[in-house]
Structures are given as structure tokens and as C-alpha cells.
Amino acid sequence: MSQYEFENNQDGEWDDSGDVAWNEADWQKFLRNADKEVSKFISAYNKVSGKEDRIDATAAIMGWHRDDWSSLDEELDEEMIKQIRPVEMEELSKMEPYTIHRHPIYISATGLYAYLRTAWEHYMRNNREKSSSHLSWSYCASLSEGERHSVLASNCLDLGDFLLAVCHLKKAHAALNESLRLNRLFTHQSDSVFETYQSESNMRLHDLREIWLRVMHDCRK
């Protein structure tokens, strides 16, 4: 992995603006690590899924603080300001670049929606009662729409466009409500399988809603 590259100016002094120079293989490795972070979230969530405070418990396992969800700037007191130190160049060169793949909203939405898709596919694959193609398509479309707007919201949060993030989360919320409505219309030959599927999928949909509502509340302050 290549280091930060610098160009010197005409006066022979170092230009203090550097860019990280990564090749395609470096970025492929970065994306694999990002996928591992999503898998870590899914494992953490499943581990504490029986708890009432599973959202906060999962965030604690992931090492996230409350402010990390909305990316709101934290007000620094004098003591915190005194502790700020410049990052050494050697340390800086070892740091990976920050992208949206690291944002808690992106990771949580990607992880929970990945579970919802996988659970639904497994449910239908083992279901002798075939659902209508229109119902199946509409449900998948609602999941896609909810995830799309949540990812766009995470990008807005990262850029500091908090009210635009609220607008995207409201659209994601509407798509989520549609997912909840459509999910109830599927049937299965086994009542116990249906009840388990409904319980697990609805829990994750409601937790997505709870995360978004918390972020929207913070953004409106």
C-alpha cells in the first residue's frame, strides 16, 4: 500500500496538502474490510437480539458513541481542546481514508437489510405456498427503497446536510412502513415458521425505524 505523496513547490518547501495514493488492489482490500465491518455488526446484533436495549448494546460492541450516529459536531470544552495534538506524519500514513462505508447508519442499514433479504429468500425457498409475483416484487422494491434512502441519508449526515438527511430518512421510513405492510401478506404452510419469520423480520424493521427516529431527533435540535 503506497504512502502519502507530496510535491515540493518552486521554493523547495514541502507542500502540506497530500493525497493518499491507492491502487485498485488497495481499494479492493478496503471494501473487503468494509464488508467485514457489516458482518461484525450483524453478529453483534444477533448476539444481543434478545435484549430490550439491543440497539445500544450493539453500538457498544461496535465501539460507537451516540454522536457517531448523526455525525453532529461535539462541543469541546477547554480541557478537551488542550488534549488535541497534531497527528504525526508516520501515524497519518498508516491511517486508512475515511469513506461512507464507516458511517454507523450505513453499516447498520446495510446489515439489517441484508438480514431481511436473506431471511425472506430462505422463507420463500422453503415455502410450498407460492406468493404472487406482484407481492414478491413489491416487497423487494420496498426493501430496496428503504435501504437506498438510508444510505443517502448517511452521506448527507457525513457532509453536514442534516435537514436533507431528515428528508431522506422520512422517505426511508415510508418505504419501511410499506415493507411492514407487505410482509404480513405472505403465507406459509407452517404457522410456527411464519410466526418466527414475522417476529424476527419485524423486530429488525422496527429497530431500523428506532435508529432513524433517534438520528432525526438529533438533526432537528
Dump pLDDT digits (tens) for 95-148.
Answer: 567 788 989 999 999 999 999 999 999 999 988 888 899 999 999 999 999 999
Q: pTM for the whole thing?
A: 0.79
CA distance 185 to 155: 33
Residue 161 is predicted with a pLDDT of: 94
Can you give the residue range of the structural domain that contains 180? 4-219
CA distance 213 to 107: 17
* CB atoms closer than 10 angstroms to residue 93: 14
Output the pLDDT for position 92.
41
Can you give the pLDDT at residue 95? 54
Task: Report pLDDT for 76.
Answer: 45
Q: What are 139-155's pLDDT values in tens digits?
A: 999 999 999 999 999 99
pLDDT of residue 8: 44
Number of domains in the chain: 1
Give the chain's residues under pLDDT 50: 1-18, 76, 80-82, 84, 87, 89-90, 92-93
Residues 6+ apart with CB under 8 A from 201: 116, 119, 120, 183
Cell reading at 150: 438510508
Q: Which residues contact 65 (CB under 8 A, 6 or more apart)?
A: 59
